[in-house]
Amino acid sequence: MPINEDFCHGDKKPIGKIIDGPSGNFHWVWPSQVGEGQNEWDASKDEKVLADYAKHGEEMVKLGITGTMVANDWDVCVADGACIEACPVQIFQWYRTDKDISGIDAVNDKTEWKGEGTTEKEERLDYTDKADAIREHDCIYCMACVSVCPPQAVLVDQANMEPHEKAAGTFVKMESGSENPHAHD
């Protein structure tokens, strides 16, 4: 089920933050949409995903949406890897190949990630793994990941930079005719 376009707008606040250690960039984790409108918990119905959760002895819980401009709904993601394979600039990696921790621990993790997770489709740890847009700031907005994701777990929207910056406390509203704060001499 596709991500609601308003997943990070209005009064919604991030529930976690994943930091790419090498670049210092980060992305937010937003609340789960499971149960809102037509949103289904696709991963909880996938036999391969359920079998691998059982193998780890982990409880399957709602995880939420990682990323803002490049968002992946971890409650819908079934670890197919099509997004990883399609991305021409390799913004995605399998999170469990960087840190082998449960999804909920990844959402709640406050430490920097090495950014060394595998970017190969077939190198996922197992089906509890999730594609994470750890380098979402490198996205070129080609939409390849969106077009190939079987459960439609990925949403790419450059306009979501504003909610990302608002959550970070770095948003600056530009008035007409004002100087660009990003311009350099």
Is 115 part of a structural domain of the chain? yes
pLDDT at 38: 58
The number of folded domains in the chain is 1
> For the chain, which residues score pLDDT lower than 50?
none
pLDDT at 173: 67
Is 133 part of a structural domain of the chain? yes
Is 6 part of a structural domain of the chain? no
Is 171 part of a structural domain of the chain? no
Domain that holds residue 84: 16-164
Is 71 part of a structural domain of the chain? yes
pLDDT at 78: 94
Is 182 part of a structural domain of the chain? no
Residue 146 belongs to domain with CATH number: 3.30.70.20
Is 89 part of a structural domain of the chain? yes
pTM score: 0.85
Contact predicate 56/114, CB 8 Å? no
pLDDT at 180: 65
Is 8 part of a structural domain of the chain? no
